[in-house]
A and B are shown apart, each in its own frame.
Chain A
Amino acid sequence: MADKVFVTGAGIISALGIGQEATLQALLNGESGIGKITHIQTEHEEFPVGEVALSNAEMSRMLNVGYPIDGLRTVLMGIIAAKEAIKSAGLTEKELRKAAFISGTTVGGMDKTERHFKTVFNSNVETDDSLELKYNDCGYSTELIADNIGKFNLVTTTSTACSSAANAIILGANLIKAGVIDIAVVGGSEALTKFHLNGFNTLMILDKENCRPFDKERMGINLGEGAAYIVLESETSAKARGASILGELRGYANTCDAFHQTATSENGEGAYLAMRKAMDMAHLSPQDIDYINAHGTGTPNNDETELAAMQRIWDYELPKFSSTKAFTGHTTSASGSIEAVICLLALQHGFLPKNLGWHNPMKEDAIPVIEDVDSSNVKNIINNSFGFGGNDSTLIFSEFIKENG
């Protein structure tokens, strides 16, 4: 029988701050990181976003890195978060050499591409600026992060829009269960870009106010940026290393809504299947789930269909649920791992993150977590990440119970 998969380290950077501790404090204090856009030159200043406070120059100085990384925001944030994850897991160079690094991103170095594109295009690629486009694809972004955090056995990149990081976590777990590796550093990173800010705007799903997931009056998304990685480890390896265990990745599933490139099916079929299959893998029944960290983007479509999927499983007895996107913004490709770290903080510190911005229920019984609740008995958490194209993934994190004797 395959080994259990434990989480033995975590790292995060987002609009809530750098590191697990800053993130925890912001969550406990109910302090959203959403505000005005500052790092990108855009006409669309009307859209609130969840930016990482540091500029590229500040992150580069912090990491002591130079060209080309100093111009690649996805890479800079990724290095910061991955370093924290590896440090918190206490992994040595030797252990990393046998590990996998899997990162999810869709944007990669598009922030850099869009700064140089006009010059390169207008010059018909005769300008030396064209060399600035070399390291900007998804794979290079991941490799630049990897090269700055360790030497790995296997490195690759998932790219499924808003479920990218969740799918990186799933691949890591599958590789561990298959015995290919014992340790995987997995997650994702995504920087805000003019490209996708405008892209989402063309779909008319951005909110000009702070977003209100699961609220009757919700109008759309606040985009965000950030990076987060967790260290997955086989039970055997974690015990042999005496690693401290943050939780267990008890179940997971990846399904496809197969309905439309940007809209979700009315009954949330993909979401329903993802949650059901993850629970099946975890050998948990719906009653065992204590909290759902919903995808909850704040769009009329997502929240309606995600709630419909939840009600297909739990009917009127929904577990406690909330979306944390009103804290961090929708961090797109990184959201699966950023929210995984939030779930792990919740498990370890006995609290449930609030659903900020909420005032009125969509349906009578659909009231998310809006105040402090008794979380002493929270053992199993569902973390949903649903991407464009119906790429739906669910992760289940469970409390690690130390065996006696």
Chain B
Amino acid sequence: MENLILQLKNQIIEVLNLEDMTAEDIDAEAPLFGDGLGLDSIDALELIVLLEREYGIKLSNPAEGKQIFKSIASIADYVSKNRKK
């Protein structure tokens, strides 16, 4: 799980172009949206694309993302249970 969390952090930094951040800067339990990193609805869509491209997980409804994308930890949990790649 540790490896997956680190991998996700780096992928998210790349995909969302969080230029000045490194994996160490992101707390795996911290909220991603609203407070915390302050991501928005477009970032959520990018994360949906990331899940499909890297892990073969297809979300058909953006609303599903709300629970999954709460934090890096919750994403890692979801990915480890549902990944096809």
Indicate if A touches B (C-beta under 8 A). yes
Interface residues of A in 219-253 (CB under 8 A from B): none
| Among listed B7-15, B28-36, B41-49, B67-75, interface-contacting one | B41-49
Given contacts A202-B49, A204-B48, contact A263 B62 (CB under 8 A): no
> Contact at B62–A204, with CB atoms within 8 Å?
yes
Q: Does A203 contact B (CB under 8 A)?
A: yes
Distance of A272 Cα from B40 Cα, bound (Å): 24
> Contact at B42–A262, with CB atoms within 8 Å?
yes
Interface residues of A in 249-270 (CB under 8 A from B): 260-263
Known pairs A260-B40, A260-B41, A262-B42 / 6 extra A-B pairs, C-beta < 8 Å: A202-B45, A203-B45, A204-B45, A204-B61, A204-B62, A262-B41
On chain B, the residues within 8 Å of A204 by CB distance are 45, 48, 61-62
> Contact at B42–A261, with CB atoms within 8 Å?
yes
**Contact size range, B:** under 10
Distance of A87 Cα from B49 Cα, bound (Å): 49
Binding site for B on A (CB under 8 A): 202-204, 260-263
> Contact at A263–B41, with CB atoms within 8 Å?
yes
Interface contacts (Cβ under 8 Å), in number, total 13
Nearest Cβ on chain B to A265's Cβ, whole angstroms: 13
Which residue of B has the minimal Cβ distance to A204? B62
Distance of A261 Cα from B40 Cα, bound (Å): 11
Task: List the 8 closest A-B pairs by CB distance, nearest first.
Answer: A204-B62, A263-B41, A203-B45, A204-B45, A202-B45, A262-B42, A202-B49, A261-B42
On chain A, the residues within 8 Å of B49 by CB distance are 202
Distance of A202 Cα from B42 Cα, bound (Å): 10
Interface residues of B in 21-59 (CB under 8 A from A): 40-42, 45, 48-49
On chain A, the residues within 8 Å of B61 by CB distance are 204
Distance of A262 Cα from B45 Cα, bound (Å): 12
Distance of A11 Cα from B62 Cα, bound (Å): 39
Which residue of B has the minimal Cβ distance to A205? B62
Which residue of A has the minimal Cβ distance to B49? A202
On chain A, the residues within 8 Å of B40 by CB distance are 260
Nearest Cβ on chain A to B69's Cβ, whole angstroms: 14
On chain A, the residues within 8 Å of B41 by CB distance are 260, 262-263
Distance of A203 Cα from B45 Cα, bound (Å): 7
On chain B, the residues within 8 Å of A261 by CB distance are 42
On chain B, the residues within 8 Å of A262 by CB distance are 41-42
* 13 A-B contacts (beta carbon < 8 Å): A202-B45, A202-B49, A203-B45, A204-B45, A204-B48, A204-B61, A204-B62, A260-B40, A260-B41, A261-B42, A262-B41, A262-B42, A263-B41
Distance of A260 Cα from B42 Cα, bound (Å): 10
On chain B, the residues within 8 Å of A202 by CB distance are 45, 49
On chain A, the residues within 8 Å of B42 by CB distance are 261-262
On chain B, the residues within 8 Å of A263 by CB distance are 41
On chain B, the residues within 8 Å of A260 by CB distance are 40-41
Distance of A308 Cα from B62 Cα, bound (Å): 23
Which residue of A has the minimal Cβ distance to B61? A204
Distance of A262 Cα from B62 Cα, bound (Å): 14
